[in-house]
Every structure is written in structure tokens, then in C-alpha cells.
Amino acid sequence: DAGSPPAPRFEGAERHLIQPWPYAGAIGNEARTPIETGDGIYITDADGRRLIDGPAGMWCVNLGHRREELARVMADQAMELSYNTPWYTMSDPSAELARRLAAHAPGDLEHVFFTTGGSSAVETALRFMQFINNVRGRPDKKLILSRGGAYHGSTYLSASLNGRPRDRDWMDGADDLVVKLSCPDPFRRPAGMTIEAFTDFLVDEFRATVERVGAERIGAFVAEPVQASGGVIVPPPGYLPRIRNLCRDNDILYVSDEVVTAFGRLGEVFASGDVFGIEPDMITFAKGVTSGYFPLGGVMISARLTEELRRSNHPQAMFGHGYTFSSHPIGCAVALKNLDLLEGGVLEHARTVAPYFQEQLKTLEDLALVGEVRGAGLMACVECVADRESKNPLALDNAVGKRIDAHCHELGLLVRPLINMCVMSPPLIITRDQIDDMVAILREG
């Protein structure tokens, strides 16, 4: 995410491995921290250094590492039924998981299409929007509204929605299908503008864009309730419900991308309804659904939409979409156990400890290089600036000396570096004492 290409290091087996987001000059020869074991909120690197897993892997190890209950259920399921085709068979864990998720989802989101992760979930939601508009006889209503700062995945269509410039600098995308809106970042709102005026600006921009482009051409609006990889951007109060209403008025499907925010990160199974008070048409999820123990994702889909398809003039039309590993029984079995544990106390713990987490991180704002500490639930971002007046991002390249995340690593904390930002989203089981350790290391770093 940040800095210049690392010096080549590997000569052994590692040089055959290509990791995500590699620099051209380092492909197949890039040093990344080798991690050997995990336990609770900690991971241990190859040098034997124990680190707090600050980002919970990739926003996903919500219940922590080395949970025996999760490992056991996966082994048991593999011995019972390791795989079944989702094309013409079903498994009990997948149907039961669909039922349990529907009970947590807001509004009438009663149906689930399982995928292999977050990108494939977003891709599925978008292809479903295209499909339903074809069935409805509205083949031109396919454009997608997305926002600056967004991250929705790495498949071609989902990646086309991404709004962080560095993700797109060297990459192609389906640009003719996507219309971009502003990032709802209160910290970087125009100087002198109140939060209320900024919210009005965002809502007016949405309305004006729909008028300019034409509601009859826009199929979906896709948004993370809190933009995660964009730097934990918590939108201004009231913004999401107002945009939700505009989508309803213009028959634009609202897709809430909860790949990060679901499964306890904001204290609830899904945040759209329980935290933000909105009922989307679809919710995409992944990551924390299995606490990262198995790659699984999915899309919750409104019963109003499935009912409309059933009653349409084209009941024979086929949604030609699916993955070999849709509804994987091992993934669904571990997701069920994960949900048991979330409901059985971890959600409650996350809700209890979150205010302390936010409060303690906020104390870092007394450091001159910190422009803002912001967050919600158990996700937060420490944004570093060159100076508070200009809010220009602090240059954290190697020339300046050691980067904050490198210092933290030495001190026992894995930080996710996002250019000038340190992003924190620890396992939900983190305790107050462990939060104190994390904040002390960040301060020192």
C-alpha cells in the first residue's frame, strides 16, 4: 500500500510466489513479513517476534487466531462431507447458514447467494442487477454509482468501482459502466464547510448526477457503510439514509458492501440496519463471516427482487452465474460456528470494548504529526499529516527514515500502512489491556 519497492530478498521457494499488489520491479522477488503462527490476537513472525495482529489479518480474523472450535468444526465437516456441487445438490450447513443470516439481515433480505470472497460477492450483486434489469426489459439501466475512496474488489467489474487513485493508476476497468461520486470524508471536506453543509453537498451531488445521467440508465449504487481501505471514512450522520431514499425514489438498487463492516466489526452481524438504519436491496459480505478460517462470501438479496423475478414475464430466464465453491460445506459449517460464537458473547464484547478502543486511539491526536484519529466500532485510522493547517499527507517514504509501521513492528504491533495512514482493526476479542498495549506501541512508533 505504501512506500517504494522493497529491496529484493528471496532466493528460495518464496521467489515463486506472487503476492497481491506487487510492484512491477519486485514481482516474484518481494520481501514480506513471513508469519509462522497465530494465537488469539497475536501472530508470530519468522524471527520469533510476537506481534499484536492490528489489522486482524485483512479485517477478517474477527474471533482471533487458533480457535479450536472453528478448527474442529472444519475437520468434522471435511470428514462428513468435504464438498458437494452447488449446481444440482445442497448441503445442510449452507441452507442453515442462509436461514441464520436472513434472520439477522435488515428488511426483507431473505435470500443468500454464496460466493468465494468479497470481490466475487460484489461481482455477483452487480451481475444480479444486470440480470434483473434485462428480465424487466430495461437493458439500458445498468450504470453503477460508486464513490471516491471506495474499495470493492479485484475482479474486473468490482475493481472498476474502486475509488483510490493508486488502485487504478496502471490498471484498466469497465469505465463506461461506472459513474463516480465524491468521497464522503468529513476530514477532507472543503475548508470552512460545516458537516451539515457537507452532507447536503453530497446529497445534492447524488441528486444532480441522477438528473444529469438519467435514472433510467442507473442500475445500482454501491457503498461501504464505513469506507475501510479508503482510510476508515465514517460518513456524516444522516448521509446514508438520505442516499438510500434517493435510490428508492429513482429505482436504483442500493448495494451495501459490508465485506468489512459485518460480523461484529461495528458490533452487529450486519451494520446497515442495526447501526445505520437503512434497508439496502442487497448486502455483500465476506471476510469475518468465517473469521478468515475459510474463503467465503455472499450476497443477501431482497425478497421483493426475487419475488419480482418469479412473477416476471420471463420465469425461464437464467441467472447464468455461480462458482464451483459457492455454498462450500466446510465454509458454511465454520461460518455457522463463527455465528454461534459471535451471538454467544463476542458481539457483546465488541460493543463493550469499542468505545474504549476509540477513546484511547483518539489520545494520539496530541502528537503533532497526527491530523485525525477516526473510526467506528473496532475499526480506526490514525491519519498523519505534514501539518494540520494544510492537512497535506505526511510523506512516509523510506527517505524520511523508518516508517511508523516498521517501528511498530519492532515494538510488537502489526500495523496496516495505507500511505500516510495507520489502519487498526484488531480481532474483536481484544481486551482493554491489549488495547493499552496497542496504543502505547503506536505512540512510541
Smallest distance from ligand PLP to CB 417, Å: 15
Tell me which stretch binds ligand PLP (CB under 6 A): 115-123, 195-203, 334-342, 399-407: 115-123
CA 268, 271, 277 angle in degrees (round to 5)? 120
**Sheet containing 50-53: order of strands:** 35-39, 42-45, 50-53, 413-414
**118 touches ligand PLP by CB under 6 A:** yes
Tell me which stretch binds ligand PLP (CB under 6 A): 116-124, 309-317, 404-412, 423-431: 116-124
**55 touches ligand PLP by CB under 6 A:** no
C-alpha cell of residue 356 = 474504549
Q: Which residues contact 99 (CB under 8 A, 6 or more apart)?
A: none
Binds ligand PLP (CB under 6 A): choice among 160, 162, 209, 229: 229
Spatial CA neighbour of 342 closest among 25, 54, 101: 101
Helix axes 329-341, 92-104, angle to 10 degrees: 40
User: What kind and span of H or E run contains 134?
Assistant: helix 118-135
Q: Which residues contact 427 (CB under 8 A, 6 or more apart)?
A: 40, 41, 53, 56, 61, 62, 63, 64, 65
Minimal CB distance residue for ligand PLP: 118
Q: Of 256-315, which residues contact ligand PLP (CB under 6 A)?
A: 257, 259-260, 286
**117 touches ligand PLP by CB under 6 A:** yes
Could you tell me how many residues of this chain bind ligand PLP (CB under 6 A)?
15
Binds ligand PLP (CB under 6 A): choice among 73, 105, 122, 282: 122
The residue (of 257 and 281) whose beta carbon lies closer to ligand PLP is 257
Return the number of other C-beta atoms located less than 10 Å from residue 422's C-beta. 28
Q: Which residues contact 280 (CB under 8 A, 6 or more apart)?
A: 106, 107, 109, 244, 254, 255, 256, 272, 302
The residue (of 257 and 372) whose beta carbon lies closer to ligand PLP is 257
Smallest distance from ligand PLP to CB 154, Å: 6
What is the per-residue burial (b if ≥16 Cβ within 10 Å, else e) of 296-322?
A: bbbbbbbeebeeebeeeeeeeeeeeee
Q: Which residues contact 188 (CB under 8 A, 6 or more apart)?
A: 391
| Pattern 199-228, ligand PLP, x by CB under 6 A | -------------------------x---x
Smallest distance from ligand PLP to CB 211, Å: 28
Tell me which stretch binds ligand PLP (CB under 6 A): 44-52, 73-81, 111-119, 315-323: 111-119
| Pattern 144-183, ligand PLP, x by CB under 6 A | -------xxxx-----------------------------
Tell me which stretch binds ligand PLP (CB under 6 A): 124-132, 243-251, 252-260, 423-431: 252-260
Binding site for ligand PLP (CB under 6 A): 117-119, 122, 151-154, 224, 228-229, 257, 259-260, 286
